Amino acid sequence: MKAKTMKHLTSILFALILSTNAWALPPQIEADRLLLQAKTALDANDYEIAIQSFEKAAVLNVKMPDTFYFHFGKAYSGAKKWEKARAAYEQYLNQTGTRGKFYREALEGFNQADLEWTKAEKAYTDAMAKYTQEQNRYEANMRNCKTQEYDDYRKELEDRKERAWQKCQNYGKYGCMDGMSGSKALLEAAESASKRVWEFNEAPNTWCNKRYTAPSKPQR
């Protein structure tokens, strides 16, 4: 029974291997297929699909048309991936020189990508500078908050303990021994304040995070 099962599994695996190989195309033909797919996507302004097809074709290690990196740059530009677009146009210009079919268009694409990339870098730099200021302010606020909150709760604790003590002094000739039941509410309040001080001391950010929110770091 076991041998029969193993034979069956082997047959299935062999069939899967044959099926996979049957659909595999030679690298050059696969590259042509991907370039056709990329062109269709580019014409439809589906830049992400075009980029995926170009990227798959680029790693096949086959000779690509001279215009490959020009169209690759167009796809990146359409997706507003300016740094990669600039690199693709640069690759095209380096490979084909001034005699390339899309020489002028590549220069224009390179200039646009370079300009947009420079603007994006400046915007990111400005955003990071603002983030740094806000982060410094946030950290200062948190430090002050932790100090102030802790001091406030310690004062609250001492005040409640003092009131509880004064209250129990007013009960009977046995003083606080008999007066404890009469000042139960104040004593419980003092214990509550003590617990809050302890919680704050153990996890001070819990209290201060209700007042201050950390800034979000900008992304490229």
CA 32 to each of CA 38, 101, 132: distance values in angstroms, whole numbers, following the listed order: 10, 19, 49
What's the CATH fold of domain 2-101? 1.25.40
Report the alpha-carbon distance of residue 7 to residue 161 in Å, rounded.
83
Model pLDDT, residue 106: 96
Q: Which stretch, 20-29, 42-51, 191-200, has highest mean pLDDT?
A: 42-51
Report the candidate in 36, 101, 112 with the shortest Cα–Cα distance to residue 74: 112
Model pLDDT, residue 168: 62
Band of residue 164 on the pLDDT scale cut at 50, 70, 90: low
* 65 pLDDT higher than 80: yes
* 202 pLDDT higher than 80: no
Average pLDDT over residues 92-105: 95
Percent of the chain with pLDDT over 70: 64
Nearest-10 crossing angle of helices 47-58, 27-43: 160
Question: What's the pTM value of the predicted model, to 2 decimals?
Answer: 0.59
Percent of the chain with pLDDT over 90: 50
Model pLDDT, residue 211: 78
